[in-house]
Amino acid sequence: MRIEESDGVSASRKHLVFAYYVTGHGFGHATRVVEVVRNLILAGHDVHVVTGAPDFVFTSEIQSPRLFIRKVLLDCGAVQADALTVDRLASLEKYSETAVKPRESILATEIEWLNSIKADLVVSDVVPVACRAAADAGIRSVCVTNFSWDFIYAEYVMAAGNHHRSIVWQIAEDYSHCEFLIRLPGYCPMPAFRDVIDVPLVVRRLHKTRKEARKELGISDDVKLVILNFGGQPSGWKLKEEYLPSGWLCLVCGASDSQELPRNFIKLAKDAYTPDLIAASDCMLGKIGYGTVSEALAFKLPFVFVRRDYFNEEPFLRNMLEYYQCGVEMIRRDLLTGHWKPYLERAISLKPCYEGGINGGEVAAHILQETAIGKNYASDKFSGARRLRDAIVLGYQLQRVPGRDISIPEWYSSAENELNKSTGSPTTQIIENGSLTSICTDDFEILHGDLQGLPDTKSFLKSLAELDTVYDSEKNSEKRQMREHKAAAGLFNWEEDIYVARAPGRLDVMGGIADYSGSLVLQMPIKEACHVAVQRNHASKHRLWKHAQARQNAKGQGPTPVLQIVSYGSELSNRGPTFDMDLSDFMDGEMPISYDKAKTYFAQDPSQKWAAYVAGTILVLMTELGVRFEDSISMLVSSAVPEGKGVSSSASVEVASMSAIAAAHGLSISPRDIALLCQKVENHIVGAPCGVMDQMTSACGEANKLLAMVCQPAEVIGLVEIPSHIRFWGIDSGIRHSVGGADYGSVRIGAFMGQKMIKSIASSTLSRSLPSANGLIHDELEDHSVDLIKAEASLDYLCNLSPHRYEALYAKMLPESILGETFLEKYIDHNDAVTIIDEKRTYVVRAPANHPIYENFRVKAFKALLTSTSSDEQLTALGELLYQCHYSYSACGLGSDGTDRLVRLVQEMQHGKPSKSEDGTLYGAKITGGGSGGTVCVIGRNCLRSSQQILEIQHRYKGGTGYLPFIFEGSSPGSGKFGYLRIRRPVSIT
């Protein structure tokens, strides 16, 4: 249902009482609530506002005895580490403290209060518990919002730990008690609500004209005015006069009383009425939120925005800004260093074109009044609370399949279809029907290399060839791709050579997290891969983006080498699509900067932290091989390896990037060495404590073979042919995985702690058994040789300890867990260069130490079985090894609901009556890679029935969780086997 116009909120013969709950996240919610409340009061009703916002936000606009303000905070929103970055773990922890632990008392208090004021309707923007309290009090409730907290928190749960998942479930269930949702433009998926009414923008009205506001400020019409609106400035940020172009002035919202501003910056009062000031300005500079976006659109004000990291409503509001030609994205680094000029000049050249309604406050108030009187807007559809328990966690944020419309994930469009609403997916249509899928190799001369018949490489070359096509932004409906393509279109000089490398992701068949302990691993390169195109140009011929050019001009040094990167698919993960830097930033005098400095450099803007995987390869080549880069470098990164699914998306990006850079600069580096160098990128610059198997498989793997490698540190012992009767699949659980996550790191630390303890136990045993100074032997070794004990006292890799020795001498002596501080006091260090022990944290030790010792044995057995005679017993034994590995992960704390569910589905399929009668087709499954989500590896017989069963599992999983898993099947060559392409545009092609 959509309501565009309203004749106003007619005064009702019945005096109504509204309880209006406002979330504790920022002023944006309070400011839009003001407009709805104002219209309700104009209609003669009482409104009790429950809020944590200052009184002036409401009283400056509403002076009425019918407004009652009750200062209570019932949720905390998103906790911000600074003005631009959300602290995901802190957000969940604070919500737990604010709304979960005191939940019973909150409900009791709110029910009593609602009854005491005789509320006719509860309105929430968008406090979850308000809906539940209303239901328990027997009062109808309605939400008014553009996002809901279940959606916002869903990804936080994946990043901060599954133990917070109950928060998301509880929020979704609370919302399900709401009668319907009044949905504002720029909305996120909100399937917890069974019925939806769309209204126009809710925008505060103007009190003064542009001319009146400027006159009051003493600013003439010919002065360019920007309003700086961050809701609190980034910490440690000092504004400088030179940040503004000549003749510009800046109005600063939220400046502290003690903050001194340059003469061209004007400090606004805390209670200044910003709509008038926004309308009086020529553009706005700030962070995206509903309030800033709605007012920028309503007043046709260009908006220069800086990404707000980890706040999941942003992509939807950003798309709306850009659709109406109202937005310009600024890189955070340029914000903080004052390179504002190119962005401001670009902004005032825009012609915002929003013509939609801006009376959403009036329309919403009318709907609320009619609902309170008794009108029924809701259908009799059953609320989706039960369906959502898994779907909200396993759904949108964790799905991110390339080509899927980010506005309408599949599980959400299914919910829409239940209400008979149209849910197209323009992105999918464009990718399926558009020219990107057509295969053409006539656009480039291939001067070196071979396409090897790979369709994804042909498609990548086709997309390269289309970059210099002039896009008609008015006719092209795919705005998100437009932005990436426009940036990429200026990357390359088409008269010069371009170098292309390709590196696949990998399916961890066996070995997984035992790689850092020295295990044998078996890995299969998958069909999905990353392509990177690189071109080097003399700095004087390099085409720079406007902000990069402005930065160089400000230095006054003439052209210097610059790195410019475009990464496709940025909208699928809310990250910046472009990155650029002066290559001199990698130098500290005559030497490359340290890895620690580089890690800090890339971490300063989380929306561009992805660039560490790409640009970090350059610094590693400088540091480890002494390479010096004298030319500018342009890079285009296009990866089909899905992120967060445990199939090494990061390794494929690193290996493809380094391979392409090496080719462009004439560097001859073996695939093995490329893998080792890329591991340094991830360990030391990105800061993820991964082992080396991912990079080795991406670099050294071959299609339809398992790479067998002993990770001590990286000895490839051969390629194992996958027997023709055996097949491997990967099934994505939908739960996001990251080797940078806390669980993976703590398990790794536990394993290294166990190794240190084992060595200490062996040393103690050895010292008691060796002759003393007087020649006496204190403790004869009867069953265990001194040589073995000596080897174990200097154990270099945990996997070199055999299971029987471990069980006989060490297993029972290892603690289940230990406090970091206690371990450090006794052992000083755990001897792992890429992880740091937190003294206040308790680490599990025995299970993480058990796993690699037994996993190494399982992998060896698995490798031997692959070459044995084909039989059902062979497949059964291989499958059993996978199952054992899976449960060992769980013992370490690296399991997840989704992966466990998939493994159970495989077991049910394997042991079901149809499978038994047909000799079985699926035989085993295990969680892969770093665990805590990601993908499950399945082994089965290579036949049509197996593929059918995989599809059946896919649909059963969707039925149970609401999420349709991505299936990985097929293999492709590693980067070493692919080599590189050197291509050039033929002269005849324009």
Residues belonging to the active site:
694
Residue 744, token pair as written in the block: 């993976």
* Polymer length in residues for the chain: 990
Angstrom CA distances, 16 to 10, 25, 368, 903, stand at 13, 28, 10, 55
Picking from 582, 535, 577, the residue whose alpha carbon sits closest to that of residue 558 is 582
Q: Are 30 and 53 in contact (CB under 8 A)?
A: yes
Could you give phi then psi for residue 71, rounded to 5 degrees? -85, 95
> Residue 464 in 3-state DSSP?
helix
Check if the beta carbon of residue 921 is closer than 8 Å to that of residue 944.
no
Residue 775 is which amino acid? G
> Residue 612 to residues 609, 653, 683: CA-CA distances in angstroms?
6, 10, 11
- Token reading at 687: 């800061």
| Listed residue (762, 800, 797) closest to 781, CA to CA | 762
Reduce the DSSP state of residue 818 to 3 states and report it.
strand
The SS3 call for residue 563 is strand
Structure tokens at 981: 């392409």
For residue 752, what are the CA distances in angstroms to 77, 520, 581, 687, 929? 38, 17, 37, 18, 18
Q: Is 829 helix (H, G, I), strand (E, B) or coil?
A: coil
Contacts of 262 (CB under 8 A, 6+ apart): 239, 240, 241
Distance (Å, whole) CA 327 – CA 321? 5
DSSP 278: H
| Type of residue numbered 975 | S
Token reading at 736: 């996001």
What is the token pair recorded at 42?
A: 């104009």
Q: Is the Cβ–Cβ distance between 348 and 160 less than 8 Å?
A: no
Which residue type sits at 908?
Answer: E
SS3 labels along 18-43? EEEEECCCCCHHHHHHHHHHHHHHHC
Q: Which phi and psi angles does 386 have, rounded to 5°? A: -70, -40
- Residue 74 in tokens: 């019932």
List, as one string, the DSSP characters of 28-84: HHHHHHHHHHHHHHHTT-EEEEEESS-THHHHTT---TTEEEEE--------EEETT
Which residues are CB-neighbours of 953 under 8 A, at least 6 positions away? Answer: 731, 902, 905, 906, 909
942 within 8 A of 737, measured Cβ to Cβ = no
User: Which secondary-structure segment (H or E) carries 850?
Assistant: helix 846-866
Rounded (10°) angle between helices 165-175 and 149-160 = 170
Distances 242 to 246, 264, 449 between C-alpha atoms, Å: 8, 9, 50
Beta-carbon contacts of residue 730 (< 8 Å; ≥ 6 apart): 507, 526, 647, 928, 935, 936, 937, 938, 967, 968, 969
Longest distance between any two alpha carbons in the chain, whole Å? 107
DSSP of 379-428, one letter per residue?
A: -SPPPSHHHHHHHHHHSHHHH--TTS-TTS-HHHHHHHHHTT-----HHH
Q: Are 645 and 932 spatial neighbours (Cβ–Cβ below 8 Å)?
A: no
Residue 282 corresponds to which tokens in the numbers above?
A: 């020529």
Q: 251 — phi, psi (to 5°)?
A: -90, 130
